[in-house]
Amino acid sequence: MTVRVLIICSANVCRSPLAEAFLQVLLPDANVSSAGLYAIEGKPLDPVIASLLLNQGIDRRSHRSRRAELDVLEQADLILTMESVQKYEVERCFPETRGKVFCFDLQQDVPDPYGKNAKTYEVVTIQIASHSENWARRIKLL
């Protein structure tokens, strides 16, 4: 059975597509996707994130944002949010997701780098890469 992982952030242009890219590389047999709670459909990947991914040999320039809707959430076996408030919102708005929603970083929220300086993007990228490895190990045990 293929594990279906959905990663959620706010706009689906920075954090969740970054985590999606890393997890897809780490879990080539999984179905990894991303969405945003407040995403505007069809927005391109943040150019800084696109560049950071390209530097690691991952081309996600074709990514377009999408909103986290019920049908997308229902298809996932595991939903990972970048912030605890996002986890709360997913479970509040979509109670049928309870039990399969977790924070990407179990200790603290992953900060949104959008519009911040290059160092913030780099720190968030390192944080997401590290947690992607942790989640990949957990998912392989499923």
Is the pLDDT at 101 greater than 90, yes or no? yes
Q: How far apart, in Å, are the Cα atoms of 45 and each of 2, 35, 59? A: 26, 12, 11
Record the tokens describing residue 122, joined without a space: 């780099």
> With contact defined as beta carbons under 8 Å apart, do 90 and 8 qualify?
yes
**Topology of the domain covering 4-140:** Rossmann fold (3.40.50)
Which H helix or E strand runs over 80?
strand 78-81
Structure confidence at residue 91 (pLDDT)? 97
Q: Where are the domains of the chain?
A: 4-140
The one-letter code for the residue type at 30 is: A
C-alpha neighbours within 13 Å on the C-beta side of residue 47:
2
Q: For residue 36, which phi and psi values (nearest 5 degrees)? A: -125, 140
**Which residues are the active-site residues?**
9, 15, 112
**78-81 and 4-9 beta bridge pairing:** parallel
Structure confidence at residue 141 (pLDDT)? 85
The three-point CA angle 34-111-11 to 5° equals: 35
Average pLDDT over residues 118-133: 97
Structure confidence at residue 1 (pLDDT)? 73
Average pLDDT over residues 108-112: 97
What is the value of pTM for the model shown? 0.96
pLDDT, tens digit, 9 for 90 and up, residues 26-72: 999 999 999 999 999 999 999 999 999 999 999 999 999 999 999 99
